[in-house]
């Protein structure tokens, strides 16, 4: 049975941060790194990890850069209205298979599916060779 994923957060006049069960600390930096940066970062990691799950054996790529953009609603609750994932991949040996893996990730990535409940989602792929 899957165990809970757990973080412990601390907030006072000087520090806002959370720690993982491995005691890794992640700071909220006022005006620079807040909850939405962590959410979009989590989406990038979960999404690309899911892409990896669907890339067929023998299909290779040199690297991939992922940019995630989120636009919040102005009304309350100010959830994400639009979320864009931009993937720039270099040295992809089979672009069709890579694109199919990305499509499957949109269907199976848990954080993508969670955010999709409140936000319009899009994914763009560019190749750099």
52-67: pLDDT as tens digits: 999 999 999 999 999 9
What average pLDDT does range 96-122 have in this prediction?
98
Locate 34 and state its tokens. Answer: 């807040």
Q: Give the ranges where 6-128 is alpha helix by DSSP (H).
A: 35-54, 95-108, 110-116
Q: State residue 129's pLDDT score.
A: 84
How far is residue 105's CA from residue 20's CA, in Å, rounded to a whole number? 26
Report field, pTM of the whole predicted structure over 0.75: yes
How far is residue 84's CA from residue 88's CA, in Å, rounded to a whole number? 13
Q: State residue 31's pLDDT score.
A: 78
pLDDT above 80 for 2? no
Q: Which residues make beta-bridge pairs with 8? A: 19
User: Please, how many CA atoms are within 13 Å of residue 73, restricted to the half-sphere of its CB?
Assistant: 10
């Amino acid at each position: 049975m899957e165990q809970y994923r757990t973080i412990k957060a601390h907030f006072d006049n000087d520090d806002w941060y959370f720690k993982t069960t491995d005691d890794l600390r992640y700071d909220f930096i006022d005006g620079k790194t807040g909850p939405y940066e962590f959410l979009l970062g989590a989406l990038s990691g979960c999404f690309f990890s899911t892409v990896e799950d669907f890339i067929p054996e023998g299909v290779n790529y040199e690297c991939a850069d992922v940019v995630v953009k989120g636009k919040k609603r102005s009304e309350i609750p100010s959830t994400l209205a639009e979320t864009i994932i931009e993937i720039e991949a270099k040295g992809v040996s089979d672009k069709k298979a890579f694109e199919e893996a990305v499509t499957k990730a949109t269907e199976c990535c848990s954080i993508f599916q969670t955010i999709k409940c409140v936000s319009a989602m899009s994914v763009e792929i560019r190749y750099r060779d």
